[in-house]
Amino acid sequence: MKARSLFIAVLCSFMGVVNTYAQDWFNETTPKSLQGVWQMCFYSSSLPALPGELKSSNSLKILGEGGEFTNVVMMPTGAIIIGSGTYTLDSDSTFTEHVKKNIHLPELDGKDNVMHFELAENGKLMFVKFKSSEAGDDVWSHEIWRKIDMPSTYPTDIVR
């Protein structure tokens, strides 16, 4: 009887630990929403053999609460919108941009663009790949996006 009770106690403990890890994994990889402002990033390295450092670019992707998206590029002369439309979260690894207009990739105008993604850093970093046409050939384009959060206080070193 004692052996059976011990076995059941060990089994329940094991199941509790596995359940906790499964919930953590599920929460990390399955987003409820991609809503927010995302800044494009790229890796920069001083030597080809070094992996490089993740740097921010001047491009933003705004994924709205109502399913709209806008791609914005900041330039010295001001900001411009380079693409817009709506989006749907299809699964834990794809979302589809329903492109209304895109001046960077005009072949996407009026089309659906399936974006394959992986999240990292607790959902704050998104690795995206999608097919695009270059010189008539379908190629995979890769992008890295970091989610922008509002700081708790106003930065003292901000330049406006």
Model confidence band, residue 49 (pLDDT cutoffs 50, 70, 90): confident
Instruction: Based on the fold, state whether residues 42 and 119 are members of the same structural domain.
Output: yes
Residue 59 lies in a domain: yes
The reply to whether 47 and 2 lie within a common domain is no
Verify that 79 and 17 share a domain, yes or no.
no
Burial of 61 (0-12, 13-18, 19+ CB in 10 A): buried
Are residues 54 and 73 both part of a single domain? yes
Residues 137 and 88 in one domain: yes
Contact 45, 53 (CB under 8 A): yes
Res 26: pLDDT: 45
Instruction: Using the predicted structure, report yes or no on whether residue 62 has a pLDDT greater than 50.
Output: yes
Q: What is the dihedral of CA 21, 22, 25, 28, to 10 degrees?
A: -110
State whether 76 and 5 are in the same domain: no
Say yes or no: 104 and 73 in one domain: yes
Predicted local confidence at residue 1, as pLDDT: 57
Its domain, for residue 23, covers 1-30
Kindly state whether residue 158 falls inside one of the protein's structural domains: no
Domain shared by 11 and 43, yes or no:
no
Regarding whether 81 and 7 lie in a shared domain, the answer is no
| Cβ atoms of 68 and 46 closer than 8 Å | no
106 and 125 both lie in a single domain: yes
| Residue among 81, 93, 85, 102 nearest 34 (CA) | 93
42 & 23 share domain: no
Q: Which residues pair with 142 in a beta bridge?
A: 129
156 occurs within a structural domain: no
Provide mean pLDDT across the span 54-77.
Answer: 97
**Are residues 70 and 114 located together in one domain of the fold?**
yes
Which range is least confidently modeled, 3-12, 126-135, 149-158? 3-12
pLDDT confidence bin for 29, thresholds 50/70/90: low
Q: Decide if pLDDT at 10 tops 50.
A: no
Per-residue pLDDT band for 56 (boundaries 50, 70, 90) equals very high
CB of 144 within 8 A of CB of 40? yes
Domain count across the chain: 2
Give the per-residue pLDDT at 46. 87
